[in-house]
Structure 1
């Protein structure tokens, strides 16, 4: 999958040389540097240079000395001014070129043939002692990543002469995607709508115990035709500060709001949930009839360290983590919960109570130090014992606990400000290796979109009626959106 090359004639490639005298020439759609005295120009290209972040980019360089060592660097600065970088060592071919799509790195941030390696191995600079997680807080801003090539095999953060460089511009939002802040009743979040009038399948987008609101995945899903509500549920604005007590009616209110949007299919929705928030998504599937598609990414299948309340009553008391579950090594913490996912526990969520047309895509990673791969067997057993077949489970070898959309940096460890079981933050270990985690990202992204489109859009009776209505109508009718209640016919979303 790594070797697919995207050619785009509109790409303008920025190439710079350190030579003092130069003039720009255009050749095969890229800006190169013409050197004096007949010396061949050094160049580096990115194809495509400007694209959505889930699109692979091919990097190539040429005009270098044949069969000599070179280093590729990638650098970016996040919204807080923090510097992240990666590097890889290569040897040029007989023609003085390097194609990262097929060439093998011999050292640096990764080794072997790994075309997106520079993107997925970005790490914070040594000045950042707390190991910050690289997340785009404002998805309206693209990632701008400077890729450069230098002579020799150099260590990361080396100051040396740059032979050529190119700036990648990788967007989280496609043109026409709409970002709508949501402050309605108790609900706090951001809704991302795809371009056009819809109707679109709608989902909740939930993260684990990360404070605040993470919107980047929702922006990327909307870029692929899915209306996604990035939903905060603690540690954001006037929401509860912790996850000690979670009111499930909050998510019911959010679901009603999402389904009331005129561009959203109104009779069903889904959820994408990571880690701790998996217990929320699975519980919603058992309680709320419109929830028809649950994507759990290393999800918790038991209520974890929270009290779940619903309509003023205790729904389920969560499992409380104890000292024997904690692990500590090299300044990093994690908790091994693998042995805790036992169907005999009262904290386990009765997923079999979900409707037969509610589907589950349950993802686990083999190299997850938190032991969430231990959810797969009890989940399957529970569903099969009740004759349920509305689920799919996937175990990704070599991947860690955090599996983001494609080409996001692999998060081996990072600083976590909020922990349900501990006051103050600390550095948490997430596990995994860059290349298998990246492969999991790409595969899951495809599975997730197909899963949501199938079970939220294509299996919706309302949507099928909508298609029939459209095919029989000579002219679509536009009806103003009524925010207070769900749409009742296809024509209100055309």
Structure 2
């Protein structure tokens, strides 16, 4: 009998970044050690990788969805560990462990090559035998999403509209990032892929914004105008516009929700809309737990407040399956600093997966919550 060649599959081969893929191997000897190795290039050209050790079952097969890794970048049954477990490959830039993986061009995917290697090995530390390989595409943008650069009335951002020229109107999100500045589009593009019009807004550190780039030069009227732009868009439901913020963007989210012009420190009690606060309990950049407690206490409206708290998660709770950066080089006020974000790989990954699902569920439930009020 002719023994079939080893096979490795990844399905679906093309998927959104927040969707799980099933990775399986077969036609291998029973109870034999193998290594699964994933690698891809960031938009900056850096090579990122993760690997894990598995043992085949009596039938000569294994599955990342049901079998446990016994070593490598992670251990245990982690179906998406090869993605959230990625780190910069050795031999890259001088300080590879303090880089942060972020998608700069959402119109192209991350292309991940996944290899099946013979034995329990550490790729890059000697000769390896590749038994099979497969490629997976990881997208932030589903086909048909319309991307438009916004440069009007002083507003700098990128607007994403879900697929379907004659569909809508859609609920919408105003998307705010932190003091790293610039214009980040990957969360907004993913929101649009899930059916939400989304405006990623630049407010600091962008060449098209006014004034010195080393400080925030826009005020409350800027954020109010951006919110109004979304409300007035013909493909947006005007009374279903939400705001999401990360890091300093969280402060701005609360400020906008409490109406512009309210003094810092006395803005919170005027919030009259549902609020979800996501906390990483291992946050090394901000006092997230204390800030969440203070926000709830100041608002005095527990019926509007949903708090998600995750042990072992750090500051940067982003869409699912992105590798966590416990520390990274961060550009703040034109200064390069190393920022401690916190978070441990496995619990942080679990937090990102759970929080993203609950954010989407929360957005769907908001009309019911408001009606009940």
TM-score normalised per structure 2 = 0.91
Task: Answer yes or no: is the 8 Å Cα contact 1:89–1:105 preserved in 2.
Answer: yes
Task: Answer yes or no: is the 8 Å Cα contact 2:35–2:121 preserved in 1.
Answer: yes
Q: Secondary structure at the match of 1:101?
A: coil
Residue in structure 2 matched with residue 442 of structure 1 by the alignment: 353
| 1:147 correspondence with 2:114 | yes
Q: Secondary structure at the match of 1:395?
A: strand
Residue in structure 2 matched with residue 365 of structure 1 by the alignment: 280
Alpha-carbon offset, residue 128 of structure 1: 2.2
| 1:129 correspondence with 2:44 | no
Please, which of 265, 268, 291 is the counterpart of residue 375 of structure 1? 291
Residue in structure 1 matched with residue 145 of structure 2 by the alignment: 177
Alignment: residue pair count: 362
Residue in structure 1 matched with residue 178 of structure 2 by the alignment: 208
After TM superposition, list the pairs within 5 Å mapping 1:236-385 onto structure 2: 236-239=206-209, 240=211, 241-244=213-216, 246-287=218-259, 316=263, 347-355=264-272, 358-370=273-285, 371-384=287-300
Task: Answer yes or no: is the 8 Å Cα contact 1:120–1:434 preserved in 2.
Answer: yes
- Deviation digits for residues 120-167 of structure 1 (CA, Å, limit 9, x no counterpart): 011112322333211111111111101101112222434522110110
Q: Secondary structure at the match of 1:60?
A: strand
Q: 1:40 and 1:388, CA in 2 relative to 1: closer, same or farther beyond 3 A?
A: closer
Residue in structure 2 matched with residue 80 of structure 1 by the alignment: 44
Structure with higher Rg: it is: 1
Please, which of 330, 346, 362 is the counterpart of residue 416 of structure 1? 330
Alpha-carbon offset, residue 73 of structure 1: 0.6
Q: Distance in 2 between matches of 1:365 and 1:411?
A: 13
Q: Distance in 2 between matches of 1:349 and 1:269?
A: 23
After TM superposition, list the pairs within 5 Å mapping 1:453-472 onto structure 2: 453-455=364-366
Residue in structure 2 matched with residue 336 of structure 1 by the alignment: none
Structure 2 unaligned spans of 5+ = none
Alpha-carbon offset, residue 460 of structure 1: 8.1
- Deviation digits for residues 51-105 of structure 1 (CA, Å, limit 9, x no counterpart): 1111111111112222222111100012222111111111222222211111111
Give the superposed CA RMSD.
2.0
Alpha-carbon offset, residue 243 of structure 1: 4.0
| 1:138 correspondence with 2:54 | no
| 1:96 correspondence with 2:74 | no
Structure 1 unaligned spans of 5+ = 1-36, 289-309, 317-346, 462-494
Task: Answer yes or no: is the 8 Å Cα contact 2:145–2:160 preserved in 1.
Answer: yes
TM-score normalised per structure 1 = 0.70
Q: Distance in 1 between matches of 2:146 and 2:283?
A: 35
Alpha-carbon offset, residue 438 of structure 1: 1.8
Q: 1:256 and 1:230, CA in 2 relative to 1: closer, same or farther beyond 3 A?
A: same
Residue in structure 2 matched with residue 23 of structure 1 by the alignment: none
Q: Distance in 2 between matches of 1:363 and 1:227?
A: 22
Q: Distance in 1 between matches of 2:234 and 2:365?
A: 20
